[in-house]
């Protein structure tokens, strides 16, 4: 029996996971598992930056107000204030770690701040247009050097080990089973505390800016373990994903519009002022719906984002990654507009977690995109996501370090005695393709009850097939991810059917108006 033991197990290697590991490792043995490499998550792809009140011209109240406005009445105001108030400390910590943010000696704090949709002030600190990469590479280097952190790459979590599954009277979390993708062995990982930092579920949709790892693993595992989830209907579509046959989900940063980029139809007509008085600087849900409307109205494959009025020097300084990538594809953004379409970008809902990142299951935490904290409401304000990762990772670390340790019970090995090798693995790829297509068609930017019910019917058919496959055959990474994606799809559709209004990222043709007293959509597992 292969058993690994740690004080704390972190599942996921995005910004939240790496931050937690570093904040715990001086006094604990930390195990960190990641499905691919240490830098293969969504955090590394973040372009725009991190929102925080850093300038004397900005205020905490302004950042809070902008967040609440973008969240369309569903943000938890106390949580929002908590996160915003801890923003500067989070940025200071990153600077202390050595993150090389873009400098601006003319500013009152020495760093360049940009502005993005929904923000009333310049408050986005960034490292050119590759902030996530700069942050992740800095923290990953420290994680790999730390003697108390064991990094297990190419390990995919199978399920959490809880008291209920062990037949114990409590339902604490004692660790997890994980598949070593290189040896094809399921290992048992025991831990006093377990953190879900697995990111969102963007791969449940056909078109997404998310990496292939974004299969909602943490949300699905937490749900199966007895945790509530909330606001899963609010899936954020980023308005501007590069539209090109050779570009795989390449994001055109929100900051391009923040620095004056204009959205246009193919004939050059600007259209955003007709949809919202904030035009291109409206929140993402507004801009994504406007683009979707114009594409359907005119029968377009894409619209265009024009930043060509800025100089080559400006574009190369502020958007070097975007400039170089587009040029590689034959698009000179200093001379021509960028073809763009909306694509799924962020899961605003997730596993319910409190201000210390604790879930409904004792000793189980959820941080980052996996979690629902109440910060994002019905729509996430641009660049608040990395801030949330930092603030709640710090809160979870403090809570874990303040707790006394308790003995762990013996944990059983993974039982494969009654399964065989799969005979038709093509079923998995077919089911995955079917799921992503009908979720895009039926549970997209604009929804109807009929579309949602069709999606729900197909999901339940897929669930039956996958459950049978899971029970009878050896597990594989593709099977585990498909199982989790279908569970996320079910939660998204169920939540969407329960919301009888249009708000933020959820727009229903059957319920076009907003309710006067909005509430979060909270789902509770039947097994609780």
Residues with a catalytic annotation lie at: 284
Dihedral in degrees, nearest 10, Cα atoms 507, 438, 473, 12: -40
User: In the sheet that 229-230 helps form, which strands lie side by side, from edge to edge?
Assistant: 371-372, 350-352, 229-230, 522-523
Half-sphere exposure of 451 (CA within 13 A, CB side): 18
Between the alpha carbon of residue 155 and those of residues 202, 482, 485, the distances in Å are: 20, 16, 18
| Positive/negative CA dihedral, 366, 367, 369, 371 | positive
**Nearest-CA neighbor of 52 among 99, 86, 96?**
86
Structure tokens, 129: 């247009």
- HSE-up (13 A, CA, CB side) for residue 337: 21
SS (H, E, C) 114-168: ECCCCCCCCCEECCCCCHHHHHHHHHHHHHHHCCCEEEEECEEEEEEEECCCCCC
Tokens encoding 398: 């403090």
Distance CA 265, CA 446 (A): 20
**Residues, the chain:** 528
For residue 486, CA distances in Å to 257, 444, 527 come to 35, 16, 19
The answer to whether the CB of 47 falls within 8 A of the CB of 131 is: yes
DSSP per-residue string spanning 245-313: TT-SS-B--HHHHHTT-EEE-TTS-B-GGGT-TTGGGS-HHHHHHHHHHHHHHHT-S-EEEE-TTS-HH
> Which pair of tokens denotes residue 460?
């339940």
């Amino acid at each position: 029996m292969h058993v690994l033991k740690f004080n704390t197990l972190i599942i996921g290697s995005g910004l939240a996971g790496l931050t937690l590991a570093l904040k715990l490792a001086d006094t604990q043995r930390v195990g960190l598992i990641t499905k691919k490499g240490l830098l293969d998550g969504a955090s590394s792809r973040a372009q725009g930056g991190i929102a925080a009140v850093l300038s004397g011209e900005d205020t905490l109240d302004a950042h809070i107000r902008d967040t609440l406005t973008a969240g369309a009445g569903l943000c938890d105001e106390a949580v929002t204030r908590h996160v915003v108030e801890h923003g500067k400390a989070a940025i200071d910590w990153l600077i202390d770690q050595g993150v090389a943010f873009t400098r601006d000696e003319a500013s009152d704090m020495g760093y360049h701040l940009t502005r993005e949709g929904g923000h009333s002030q310049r408050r986005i600190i960034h490292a050119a247009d590759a902030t996530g990469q700069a942050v992740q590479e800095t923290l990953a280097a420290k994680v790999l050097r730390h003697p108390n952190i064991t990094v297990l790459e190419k390990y995919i979590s199978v399920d959490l080990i809880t008291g209920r599954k062990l037949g114990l009277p409590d339902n604490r979390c004692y660790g997890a089973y994980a598949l070593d993708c290189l040896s094809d062995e399921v290992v048992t990982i025991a831990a006093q505390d377990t953190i879900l930092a697995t990111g969102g579920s963007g791969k449940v949709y056909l078109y997404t800016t998310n990496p292939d790892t974004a299969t909602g693993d943490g949300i699905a595992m937490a749900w199966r373990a007895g945790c509530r989830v909330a606001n899963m209907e609010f899936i954020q579509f980023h308005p501007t994903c590069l539209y090109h046959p050779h570009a795989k989900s390449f994001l055109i940063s929100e900051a391009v519009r923040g620095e004056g980029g204009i959205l246009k139809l193919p004939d050059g007509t600007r259209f955003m002022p007709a949809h919202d008085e904030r035009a291109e600087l409206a929140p993402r849900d507004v801009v994504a719906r406007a683009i979707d409307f114009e594409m359907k109205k005119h029968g377009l494959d894409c619209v265009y984002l024009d930043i060509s009025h800025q100089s080559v020097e400006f574009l190369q300084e502020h958007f070097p990654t975007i400039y170089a990538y587009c040029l590689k594809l034959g698009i000179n953004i200093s001379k021509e507009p960028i073809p763009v379409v909306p694509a799924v970008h962020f899961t605003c809902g997730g596993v319910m977690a409190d201000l210390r990142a604790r879930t409904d299951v004792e000793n189980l935490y959820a941080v980052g995109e996996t979690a629902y904290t109440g910060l994002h409401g019905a729509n996430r304000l641009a660049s608040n996501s990395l801030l949330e990762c930092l603030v709640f990772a710090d809160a979870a670390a403090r809570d874990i370090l303040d707790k006394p340790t308790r003995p762990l019970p013996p944990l059983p090995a993974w039982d494969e005695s009654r399964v065989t090798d799969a005979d038709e693995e093509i079923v998995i790829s077919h089911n995955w393709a079917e799921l992503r297509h009908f979720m895009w068609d039926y549970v997209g930017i604009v929804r109807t009850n009929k579309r949602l019910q069709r999606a729900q019917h197909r999901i339940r058919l897929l669930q039956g097939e996958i459950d049978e496959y899971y029970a009878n055959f050896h597990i594989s990474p593709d099977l585990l991810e498909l199982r989790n994606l279908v569970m996320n799809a079910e939660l998204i559709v169920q939540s969407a059917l329960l919301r009888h209004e249009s708000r933020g990222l959820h727009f229903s043709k059957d319920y076009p108006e907003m309710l006067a007293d909005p509430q979060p959509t909270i789902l509770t597992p039947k097994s609780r």
